[in-house]
């Protein structure tokens, strides 16, 4: 455990999205004598990818009450202030703010305001004094031992006592194309959330999106809103799209007494419970919500082989049922599908061909012996965030790997960790290097949503700031009453 006995310590947090910002705010409140440095390239950190690069029609995938983080003022109190555009969301939620699916940008605004308020408390103080400060830059390497800290791309050095990796969801991995030239073709969009990534395309020309999950939904809505007239196609191995939220009903947690159980046994149990719920008039979504508190415990009980089986065979169906769409988003997607503006296909690309400035994709369709060729002006990578850090040429992670301070997991989910303490190549937990959020998925599987990340950060803040021993209760055991949605 980290030595926190010093009255003043320096904590550097790499990443200014949700995870990094929340940790910075909570550590600052818990230890005002410490110096907390939030490192991010953004001009105004606090929003991150999820709550920054979005439009008003990009909605939170959970109701407002599931976005509470323990900050002051609470999110719902802040929403009640002047100037919030909530009419459409409140109509859908029958006037109940807690049940409303709101624009994602609102949570970004909220976090950014909390960050600015915390920084304002430091105004007039010495630059290197206690309190929360933001550092605009990209961390690319560690300082050489025995010094602890990071070096930025511009050459600055940030010394610290504790370093926390909070890089959030990483940019998507470009699919391994049969021909590598596609990655360099002007028609290929490797990251739809990169600045201006979707600008400049011919709105009359066809578009192919690789992936049919929530990223595809966001991109399809964005293209349609910005005037896309040409047909949109989306393809994934199974052609599954996210399912919508439904309100009403309740279902009691039922998974914990079944453990340990194989992925197949649990799949059968969930399907049986969903069928029973539907017969009783309860939406199957409540069954998935009842599974949520036990997800981390289930993951802990599975062997590496069982985890691999789940990821290979069951993950796509789990994702579309577990990570759902807000009702208004589902309605807009249905309209695109019904009008044939968007076509979703199950299959895989078996060949890419250059074709007069465009790209032809030859598809082998799932369950059919036939093939289909699509000629499109843009190929947009909507496969979602990557996590295979052993293959990622990110400078900071490459340096950490070179120093043998991290151990990417064999399933390509992130970093091996012990209750946020990063494990080195030999499996030893660090006493100064930590990780939070999606990077820690190998230990917990699902730690991408606000409730789980909040629980994780509360726990790490307590350990670091209160000079307390790590609680004996495993973090997986604290993921209770997580509620509906992603």
CATH 3.50.50.60 residue window(s) in the chain: 10-169+387-478, 172-243+325-383
The verdict on domain 172-243+325-383 having CATH code 3.50.30.30 is no
Written as one string, the DSSP assignment of 293-309 is GGHHHHHHHS-HHHHHH
Its pTM stands at: 0.92
What is the four-CA torsion angle of 362, 189, 171, 209, rounded to 10 degrees? -40
Per-residue burial over 382-410, b = 16 or more CB atoms within 10 Å of its CB, e = otherwise: bbbbebebeebebebbebbbeeebbbbbe
- The CATH class of 10-169+387-478 is alpha beta
Give the pLDDT confidence score for residue 483 in this predicted structure.
Answer: 47
For the segment 291-308, the average pLDDT, to the nearest whole number, is 94
Can you give the pLDDT at residue 176?
A: 66
pLDDT at 477: 55
pLDDT band, residue 484 (cuts 50/70/90): very low
CB 348 within 8 A of CB 176: no
* Res. 356: pLDDT tops 50: yes
Tell me the sheet residues that pair with 343: 233
Q: What is the pLDDT of residue 467?
A: 58
Residue 394's contacts (CB-CB under 8 Å, 6 or more residues apart) are 170
In this prediction, residue 480 carries a pLDDT of 47
Residue 5 banded pLDDT, cuts 50, 70, 90: very low
CA atoms within 13 A on the CB side of 456: 32
152 with 140: CB under 8 angstroms? yes
Q: What is the CB-side half-sphere exposure of residue 328 using CA atoms within 13 A?
A: 19
Predicted confidence at residue 486, as pLDDT, reads 40
Residue 7 has a pLDDT of 60
- Render pLDDT for 218-227 as a digit per residue (tens, 0 to 9): 999 999 999 9
Q: What is the reported pLDDT for 368?
A: 82
If one compares 85 and 141, the residue with the highest pLDDT of the two is 141
């Amino acid at each position: 455990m980290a030595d926190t006995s010093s009255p003043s310590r320096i904590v550097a947090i790499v990443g200014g999205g949700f995870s990094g910002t929340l940790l910075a705010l909570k550590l600052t409140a818990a230890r005002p004598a410490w110096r907390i440095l939030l490192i991010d390239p953004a001009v105004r950190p606090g929003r991150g990818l999820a709550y920054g690069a979005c439009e008003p029609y990009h909605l939170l995938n959970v109701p407002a009450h599931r976005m509470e983080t323990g900050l002051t003022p609470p999110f719902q109190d802040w929403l009640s202030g002047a100037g919030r555009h909530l009419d459409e969301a409140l109509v859908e939620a029958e006037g109940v703010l807690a049940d409303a699916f709101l624009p994602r940008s609102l949570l970004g605004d909220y976090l950014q305001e909390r960050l600015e308020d915390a920084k304002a408390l430091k105004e007039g103080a010495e630059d290197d004094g206690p309190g929360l400060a933001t550092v605009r830059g990209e961390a690319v390497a560690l300082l050489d031992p025995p010094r602890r800290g990071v070096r930025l791309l511009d050459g600055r050095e940030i010394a610290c006592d504790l370093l926390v990796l909070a890089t959030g969801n990483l940019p998507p991995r470009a699919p391994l194309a049969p021909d590598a030239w596609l990655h360099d073709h002007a028609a290929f969009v490797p990251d739809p959330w990169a600045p201006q990534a979707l600008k400049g395309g011919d709105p009359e020309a066809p578009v192919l999106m690789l992936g049919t999950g929530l990223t595809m939904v966001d991109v399809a809505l964005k293209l349609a809103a910005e005037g896309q007239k040409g047909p949109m196609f989306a393809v994934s191995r199974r052609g599954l799209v996210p399912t919508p939220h439904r309100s009403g009903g309740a279902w009691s947690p039922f998974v914990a007494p079944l453990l340990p159980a194989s992925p197949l046994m649990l799949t059968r149990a969930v399907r049986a419970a969903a069928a029973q719920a539907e017969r009783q008039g309860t939406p199957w979504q409540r069954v998935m919500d009842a599974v949520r508190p036990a997800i981390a415990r289930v993951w802990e009980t599975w062997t590496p082989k069982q985890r691999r089986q789940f990821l290979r065979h069951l993950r796509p169906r789990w994702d579309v049922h577990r990570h759902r769409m807000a009702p208004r988003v589902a309605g807009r997607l249905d309209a695109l599908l019904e009008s044939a503006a968007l076509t979703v296909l199950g299959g895989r690309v078996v060949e890419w061909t250059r074709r007069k400035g465009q790209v032809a994709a030859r598809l082998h369709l799932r369950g059919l012996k036939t093939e289909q060729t699509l000629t499109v002006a843009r190929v947009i990578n909507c496969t979602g965030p990557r996590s295979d850090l052993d293959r990622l040429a990110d400078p900071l992670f490459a340096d950490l790997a070179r120093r043998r301070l991290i151990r990417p997991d064999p399933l390509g989910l992130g970093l091996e960790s012990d209750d946020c303490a990063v494990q080195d190549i030999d499996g030893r937990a660090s006493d100064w290097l930590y990780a939070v959020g999606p990077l820690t998925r190998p230990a917990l599987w699902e730690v991408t949503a606000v409730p789980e990340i909040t629980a994780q950060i509360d726990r790490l803040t307590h350990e670091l700031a209160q000079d307390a021993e790590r609680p004996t209760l495993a973090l997986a055991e604290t993921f209770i009453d997580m509620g509906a949605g992603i």
